[in-house]
Chain A
């Protein structure tokens, strides 16, 4: 069965600092990977996705993620964090094999200090 681990429940950074949110997955084949962001009281918005090809994926809002098969990781990065990036971030691995159910990590809460 597939699984997703986001080892950090909370991450605190200063505005302007770089950011890396960790995501590790367990999957039997080539995974389809996603990062979503959720601002307080809102739904989830897709930041970026990886299906195949270039392992460095660019997303919206200046985010990028790198797929590393050898480490089973798909970490999210941003070179300079803005206060508006404070939110909950979810990593997910897509469904396959006839299933329609993706698997989400538990989420990482990003706190940005001025």
Chain B
């Protein structure tokens, strides 16, 4: 069966510090991968998605970036965090070749920027 991991589970970082969140998927190959953010009391905001190694599409211009160094690894980064980067970050995957895109979500990372 497939599983998706995210770490760390929680993170408290000062403004201006760097960020690296990691997501890995097990039990599948060639997945589509996604990064979402949830601000407090708000819905899902798609940040990045990827259809293959090294292929990243950005949905929202900001100080975050994403990379996919391996097929089942997706990393969210920032060089300098802002207060507005606080939120709940979710990684998700879907099966690439399906016509419909049911997504499977990770447990999330709670980021607090102080």
A: residues with CB less than 8 A from B are 32, 34, 36, 41-46, 49, 51, 90, 92, 94-96, 100-102, 104-107
Contacts and interface: CB of A to CB of B under 8 A. Distances in A.
B44 A90 contact: yes
Interface of B: 32, 42-44, 46, 49, 51, 59, 88, 90, 92, 94, 96, 99-108, 110
Contacts of B110: 41
Contacts, number: 57
A86 to B, nearest CB: 15
Contact of B43 (A41, A51, A96, A107): A107
A49 B102 contact: yes
A90 B92 CA distance: 15
Given A43-B90, A44-B90, A105-B43, A100 B51 contact: yes
A36 B36 CA distance: 15
A34 B98 CA distance: 15
A43 B108 contact: yes
Q: Is the interface of A mostly helix, strand, loop or mixed?
A: loop
B49 A100 contact: yes
Contacts of A34: 102
Contact of B102 (A43, A94, A101, A106): A94
A90 B96 CA distance: 22
A47 B49 CA distance: 23
A96 B101 CA distance: 8
B101 A102 contact: yes
A100 B99 contact: no
A46 B44 contact: no
B99 A102 contact: no
A106 B88 CA distance: 15
B16 to A, nearest CB: 26
Which 6 A-B pairs have CB atoms at the shortest separation, nearest pair first? A43-B105, A32-B100, A106-B43, A44-B105, A94-B100, A95-B101
Nearest to A42: B107
22 contacts: A32-B101, A32-B102, A41-B108, A42-B108, A43-B90, A43-B92, A43-B105, A46-B102, A51-B100, A90-B43, A92-B103, A95-B100, A100-B32, A100-B49, A101-B46, A101-B49, A101-B59, A102-B101, A106-B42, A106-B43, A107-B43, A107-B44
